Amino acid sequence: MRTGTIERNTKETQIKISVSLDGKGKADIDTGVGFFDHMLTALSVHSGISMDIKVKGDLHVDCHHTIEDTGIALGQALGQALGAKSGIVRYGTAYIPMDESLAMASLDLSNRPFLVFNCEFTNQSCGGYDLCMTEEFFRAFAFNSGMTLHINLLYGSNDHHKAEAIYKAVAHALKTAVTENADGSTLSTKGVL
């Protein structure tokens, strides 16, 4: 089984995350931020990656540390589950509509971390989730998993729909990228990632 488990404890957050790339997208998520739980559940279910995420953060301050640190730990758990990243399709791209919103994500599990994030929101938050943290989460996730990640929100008007389209687009791109290839080889001219 391709699995990863990370525990990360700081003065701001206490996090335990387990992922299974072949776990069929079972989600058990509790971060203390309801909308974030909803987005992480979508990420798990739509990627097919089972995720057990438990977070206790300094929400009396705001949601920043909770969301960013979850991205760090989830990225590390994904990287652990992928190991040397051999034997996978490596690339994935998905366009996902959510009602009036359309998002695109394209990624490469390359050990070359980078984030391009072209998304704008109208409001400050959805529930207790600051929408500006969407970029911070995906930056932490990409950099700690060794992923090149491009996210573009093509259009939309409802911020809930925009965010959900973004998370689901990343999920479907990730589902393709972590798929095992036919011969177990490393998809690289270098022979290693």
Closest by CA to 63, choosing from 154, 163, 133, is: 133
Q: Place 124 in a pLDDT band, splitting at 50, 70 and 90.
A: very high
pLDDT at 160 over 80: yes
List Cβ neighbours of 11 (8 Å cut-off, separation of 6 or more): none
- The separation between CA 182 and the C-alpha centre of its own chain, rounded to angstroms, equals 25
Write the single-letter amino acid at 107: L
Per-residue pLDDT, averaged over 113-130, amounts to: 98
pTM reported for the whole predicted model: 0.96
> Is the distance from CB of 52 to CB of 17 less than 8 angstroms?
yes
List Cβ neighbours of 66 (8 Å cut-off, separation of 6 or more): 13, 31, 32, 33, 36, 55, 57, 58, 59
At residue 172, what are phi and psi to the nearest 5 degrees?
A: -70, -35
Q: Give CA separation, 139 vs 87, 95, 188, in Å.
A: 25, 20, 24
Chain segment 12-30, per-residue pLDDT in tens = 999 999 999 999 999 999 9
Query: Half-sphere exposure of 184 toward its Cβ, with a 13 Å CA cutoff?
Result: 0
Please tell me the predicted confidence (pLDDT) of residue 41. 98
Cross-strand bridge partners of residue 115: 149
Q: Tell me, what DSSP letter sits at residue 181?
A: P
Burial of 83 (0-12, 13-18, 19+ CB in 10 A): exposed
Per-residue pLDDT, averaged over 143-149, amounts to: 98
Per-residue pLDDT, averaged over 140-161, amounts to: 98
Chain segment 50-94, per-residue pLDDT in tens = 999 999 999 999 999 999 999 999 999 999 999 999 899 999 999
Q: Which two tokens stand for residue 171?
A: 């999920």
Q: Place 190 in a pLDDT band, splitting at 50, 70 and 90.
A: confident
Q: Place 184 in a pLDDT band, splitting at 50, 70 and 90.
A: confident
- Per the prediction, the chain carries an average pLDDT of 96
